[in-house]
Structure 1
Amino acid sequence: MTVTLERIKKAKETIENSIKRTPLIECPTLEEEFGGKVFFKLENLQKTGSFKVRGALNRIANLTEEEKKRGVIASSAGNHAQGIALGATAQGIKATIVMPETAPIAKVAATKGYGGQVVLHGSVYDDAFAKACEIQKETGAVFLHPFDDDDVIAGQGTIGLEILEDANDIDTVLVPIGGGGILAGIATAVKSLNPNIRVIGVESENAASMTEALKNGECCEVCAQPTIADGIAVKKVGCKTLELVKKYVDEVVTVSEAEIAEAILFLMEKSKVVAEGAGATPLAAILAGKIDCKNKKTCAVVSGGNIDINLVERVLNRALINKGRRYQFKVKVHDRFGEIEKLLGLLTANRANVLHITQSMYNGDLGITMQEVTLVMECSDIQHRDRVLEKIREAGYEIK
């Protein structure tokens, strides 16, 4: 068996009453900046907060009665887990899901809430996969692969059908890459309907497994580094997904951690969209200038919104720092009445906000009558930040 347009259409009929029809929204801000229309396919609004439920439900719907009695087991970074737990519980099937110990707390809790039995093992998806294979051999449960499975790929491909139903004049579709299931499915659907549409995959440069597989012409394992795009932190892509990517995908690009963080901030601030790291990678590629959007209609698939709330502040803080909107610096001041007020007055006069301030005399390099002040200020952009720093220097302060 293989994945075809007909199989994807069948998957759509199978799952359409069990999933949400997610919206395709336009982002006018990006058109102003990049000279082309950009749309977001909001799979973060999907049931379970991720596209993964599509493939999971389609796979479960194709289980035989004998397989249902054996129960199912899956490995997942979190989103596939929730889809499997939801679908299996609805049909009274026992579901065990192995997740990395580093999986976001919210994804673990949600999987348990949907009725799945969770086993935590390893630091990345591939560790969880190996453990799931062990348990499968011991229990005889049916293993439901998160991406290298025809029914799963077909389920994810239904996103491509929806995109073209809502906007059949799209020029480019950008899709996140982990194991390759969503990219393979969408690419198969889109290219089968219109071969002229460019399909581009986007992955974290910290886990560029598809880039490496395409370079070598075969599935191979990469040394994945930690990434805020935990949902696509996969060391090795699927063999089935790789062949479909070779056939249908035009290009694969990678994005950095800083670029992903900036995209998460943009989506939240400009579009009021909450996306996890994996879901923000297509926009990250646009913002980083790695995709040509000029005079084109581009669709970026926001694949999920299950970001760990404990991570949000860190990600946004880093993005704000990178954009010059938060800045920490040190200055030496005389240890006498009114000196701190004078320094803060410079920031106030130049419309910079103070987020944090500390002062200390416990530095051996300081003169006996001096103190060191550490400030974190908030500015509107890099240009504003630089103007404020220049005013501080003009006032005679040395900035570290």
Structure 2
Amino acid sequence: MSYISLSLYRFCDPANPVVVTFQDVSAAAYKIKKGIKKTPCLQSQLSNMYGMKLFMKKEFLQYTGSFKERGARYTLIMLTEEQKKAGVVAASAGNHALALSYHGQDLGIPITVVMPVIAPLMKIQSCRNFGATVHIHGANLSESRVHAMKMGNELGLTYINGYDHPHILAGQGTMGLEIVEQVPDLDACIIPIGGGGLIAGTALAIKSLRPNCKIIGVESEKCPSFANAMKAGKPVYTETLSTLADGLAVPTVGVNAFATAKDLIDKIVVVKEETIALTILRLIELEKAVVEGAGATGLAAIVENLLPELSGQRVVVALCGGNIDTTALGRVIERGLAADGRLVRFVVTVSDRPGGIAELTKLMAGLGVSIKDMFHERAWIKSDIFAVQVKVVCETRDADHSKELEMAIKAKYSEYSWGPLH
């Protein structure tokens, strides 16, 4: 069996999964404490809005912007001297690659990362800035992984699975130790789930110290792979669709992560894409925090009111990453405004005589509505030759303000259609 195959079967064998222990997490905490930030876990201004004492564990404040640094550093430290000298290889579209690149540079270990063509240019360049050798290969992460394994086999590099290596799980669990120290009387902890590494390590740490604390996992509706694994009793393939929470889009959860976490998770919920966008907006406006889709998914479960049983309780939410693609952030904010009822679209038929459109804009101005875009057309109006159809995108204060505008349009115009911006 090849070098890389032996490595994979040793650490990620479905027939013999590794269950990480609390002692593993404790050892990781000791060994990485000099290289990892102890991120704040502060009470949120969103607490009153959602009727519970919310604490945000701000993992996006790690140097490379995500919790991935914890597992990456511990795994690199635990390599043999021979493995450190030869270097490691990994496949990642972003956060795992960034974490390995940064800590590999700090520890003097050569890092090679294989990234798919869909990886953001910003993340690719950041990995290179940290001294990593970057190969762009594969239309998706699965193809990148195959190429990374092949490179490891040919070049004698150690392949590191970003969400299922036992040392990765132990390293991620150190976040749980910090949470218990920072919020000792917590009632629940909400954690996004991708491959399962973060929730496995964190749930192990928290449940070992606070057995009565509820552990709640959250996934996007576009990739509920852990929920499907729980139903099947083992990791199973789940078709992955394009999602704002791209960091959670893992079709098959890790075998070690599943074995470690399955008896520690109290509940798993699945959130809508529009709620993730709205949650990103809430965090920007009220927490002054820029968080990526995957990082915001845990809070999205509260925003979507999927956890009413937590009302009045002390709840920690893991904001696990902040590396949102800057080119996508504007679109995400617009989606969030639409989901919040503050960005609306309507079509109305008005008089095409002088002053017809002016009356419409005067009505909107009188209500304090801001026009974002307006387009009018005449050719397809069949009812009246002296009419024009006007399409408007506008911004309001909130959903009630949007309803007030709709009622005003309805009262003045007989032909109109109303709907959110999609």
Q: TM-score range by the shorter chain?
A: over 0.9
Counterpart residue number, 1:266: 282
Query: Please, which of 382, 407, 412 is the counterpart of residue 390 of structure 1?
Result: 407
Deviates more, 1:345-354 or 1:92-101: 92-101
SS in 1 for 2:311: coil
In structure 1, C-alpha distance between the alignment counterparts of 2:382 and 2:112, rounded to whole Å: 59
Counterpart residue number, 2:327: 310
Counterpart residue number, 1:165: 181
Matched letter for residue 62 of structure 1: M
Query: Post-superposition, which runs of at least 4 consecutive aligned residues in structure 1 deviate over 6 A?
Result: none
In structure 2, C-alpha distance between the alignment counterparts of 1:368 and 1:314, rounded to whole Å: 37
SS in 2 for 1:207: coil
In structure 1, C-alpha distance between the alignment counterparts of 2:76 and 2:267, rounded to whole Å: 31
Checking the alignment, whether the CA contact within 8 Å between 2:381 and 2:387 is kept in structure 1 is: no
Q: Deviations over 1:203-262 (max 9, x none)?
A: 112111111111111111111111110111100111100011113221211111111111
Is 1:229 the equivalent of 2:239? no
Query: Please, which of 184, 208, 217 is the counterpart of residue 201 of structure 1?
Result: 217
SS in 2 for 1:160: helix
Matched letter for residue 376 of structure 1: V
Checking the alignment, whether the CA contact within 8 Å between 2:45 and 2:287 is kept in structure 1 is: no
In structure 1, C-alpha distance between the alignment counterparts of 2:98 and 2:204, rounded to whole Å: 25
Checking the alignment, whether the CA contact within 8 Å between 1:366 and 1:372 is kept in structure 2 is: no
Query: Please, which of 290, 299, 317 is the counterpart of residue 316 of structure 2?
Result: 299
Is 1:372 the equivalent of 2:389? yes
Following superposition of structure 1 onto structure 2, how do residues 314-329 of structure 1 map, counting pairs within 5 Å? 314-329=331-346
Following superposition of structure 1 onto structure 2, how do residues 63-142 of structure 1 map, counting pairs within 5 Å? 63-142=79-158
**Structure 1 121/255 Cα, relative in aligned 2: closer, same or farther at 3 Å?**
farther
In structure 2, C-alpha distance between the alignment counterparts of 1:289 and 1:234, rounded to whole Å: 25
Is 1:242 the equivalent of 2:264? no
Query: How does the TM-score come out when normalised to structure 1?
Result: 0.96
In structure 2, C-alpha distance between the alignment counterparts of 1:363 and 1:293, rounded to whole Å: 53
SS in 2 for 1:48: coil
Is 1:354 the equivalent of 2:371? yes
Q: Deviations over 1:272-323 (max 9, x none)?
A: 1111001001100111111232121000000000000111111111111122
Checking the alignment, whether the CA contact within 8 Å between 2:25 and 2:173 is kept in structure 1 is: yes
Q: Report the alpha carbon displacement of residue 123 of structure 1 after superposing the two structures with TM.
A: 4.2
Q: Report the alpha carbon displacement of residue 357 of structure 1 after superposing the two structures with TM.
A: 1.3
Q: Report the alpha carbon displacement of residue 124 of structure 1 after superposing the two structures with TM.
A: 3.7
Counterpart residue number, 2:75: 59
Give ranges in structure 1 of 5+ residues lacking alignment. Answer: none
In structure 1, C-alpha distance between the alignment counterparts of 2:315 and 2:180, rounded to whole Å: 12
Matched letter for residue 266 of structure 2: D
Matched letter for residue 66 of structure 1: E
In structure 1, C-alpha distance between the alignment counterparts of 2:153 and 2:51, rounded to whole Å: 54
In structure 1, C-alpha distance between the alignment counterparts of 2:237 and 2:145, rounded to whole Å: 14
In structure 1, C-alpha distance between the alignment counterparts of 2:216 and 2:413, rounded to whole Å: 52
Query: How does the TM-score come out when normalised to structure 2?
Result: 0.91
Q: Report the alpha carbon displacement of residue 364 of structure 1 after superposing the two structures with TM.
A: 5.2
Checking the alignment, whether the CA contact within 8 Å between 1:37 and 1:293 is kept in structure 2 is: no
Query: Please, which of 237, 250, 270 is the counterpart of residue 254 of structure 1?
Result: 270
